[in-house]
Amino acid sequence: MKTTWDIFCTVVDNYGDIGVTWRLARQLAAEHDLAVRLWVDDLSAFARLCPEADAGLAQQWQQGVEVRHWSADWQPVATADVVIGAFGCRLPVAYVEALALRQPAALWLNLEYLSAEDWVEGCHGLTSPQANGLRTVFFFPGFTEKTGGLLREASLLDRRQALEADPTARAAFLAGLGVRPEAGARLISLFAYENTQLGSWLDALAEGEEPSHLLVPEGRILADLRVWLGEPGLGVGDVRHRGALTLQVLPFVSQDDYDRLLWCCDFNAVRGEDSFVRAQWAGRPLLWHIYVQDENAHWEKLEAFLALYRQGLSEAAGQALVELWRAWNMDRDMGVAWREVVRHGPELQAHARQWCLRQAAQPDLAMALVQFYRNSL
């Protein structure tokens, strides 16, 4: 009989929370032969990531995963062998009560947000006793061997390399999105939160010596793009030209197609957690728009990652990268910072490849979770 896993997800940040949990659920089912049930409180967000899904169904099976609507009107169900509460979400009270009566006891994990901060290593794997006698375990994804690793399907890097080695397949994929970049153009993807510094970056791209083709999947940054262009009606499929810059709005795509988009680009601007990790697996220079927290607490998280990621870069290239990320996330002008990053482009490209390989040498998050469960038996 297959081991049963329940994953609970509350959709808070548009697609970040469901993006991570959906990738994890289908990997656990596909690669580890587990019976996985994904509980989601907002199925409309899930359906954007999985176009085959029906947001109106309370129960459905997608890619080997049982997807259930986590409604306010909770109905009793059998508990699972392993229970994951993602990103601090509160499990249904009745489900927790059932866990307290379960024999043998389930493994209850709190899957935490990704961070490179030093304290994460000390908290990964710690238990937290609950008032009803249960224990939860904090499980932290991360970038070092003392954490839970990153989400990475077994075939991911092989699939990326296959696309990179096949110019015809790459061109066909882009053409399917309506993208036909001019020869020699720098291809950039942009998936971000609202950002007042978008205009200064677009100005720098438009004034650049080399052509750039910016691909913007439909999302929150589109409002700022409309302001810069002065076109309130700008939408999916529209293409605009300003100087050396071509702008193109793409439809919202599935997770697998988003991976391919990242692989096709020379530089990727991403946001949150899910696309941040996928951009690292793309092996390209990247720009991270971190989720804003009260009192700018997110800056510490940003600086912690930069301190780790820049190791191995020359001082000049590392500083150029740091200044670009700070400008994007701290409301500073992007123009000078972008031109410095372009100057160090080859070194940053080689470094992105090496970073990807170093991370791939560690166990992935799904494998780490499965091994943790086995060790708990």
Measure Cα distances from 91 to 4, 172, 309 in Å: 17, 44, 35
* Contact criterion met (CB below 8 Å) for 349 and 321: no
Measured distance CA(312)–CA(174) in Å, rounded: 33
Q: Which amino acid is at 251?
A: P
Distance of alpha carbon 277 from alpha carbon 116, whole angstroms: 12
Cβ(348)–Cβ(284) below 8 Å? no
CA 166-167-171 angle, to 5 degrees, is: 125
- Judge residue 361's burial from the number of C-beta atoms within 10 Å of its C-beta, 0-12 exposed, 13-18 middle, 19 or more buried: exposed
CA distances to 77, 221, 275 from 296, in Å: 41, 20, 21
Catalytic residue check, 273: yes
- Is residue 340 annotated as part of the catalytic site, yes or no? no
Closest CA to 13 of 92, 87, 116: 87
Per annotation, catalytic residue among 17, 153, 224, 274: 17
**From CA 329, how far away is CA 294, in angstroms rounded?**
14
Q: Pairing between strand 267-271 and 239-242?
A: unpaired
The active-site residue out of 81, 203, 273, 347 is: 273
Edge-first strand listing for the sheet containing 212-217: 239-242, 245-250, 212-217, 186-190, 267-271, 286-289
The residues assigned a catalytic role are 17, 273
